[in-house]
Structure 1
Amino acid sequence: MGLSIRAGRPNGPLPSDPLPQWSYAGFSLFRRGIASHIGINLSQMHGYGGGRRWSSVTSPLRHLLDHDDDRGELTPEQARELAPALSEALAELGRSDPDGLLWGPDGYNGRVGREFVDLLTLCAEEDLPAVFC
Structure 2
Amino acid sequence: MADGGKPHSVLIVEDEDNIAIALDYLMTREGYAHERIASGAEAMTKIRAMHPDLVLLDVMLPEVSGYEICQEVRMDRALDDVKILMMTARGSAVERRKGLALGADGFIAKPFELKELRTEVRRLLGGEASAAEGAGS
Same fold by TM (over 0.5)? no
Which of the pair is proportionally richer in strand?
2
Q: Which has the higher contact order (CA 8 A, sep 6+)?
A: 1
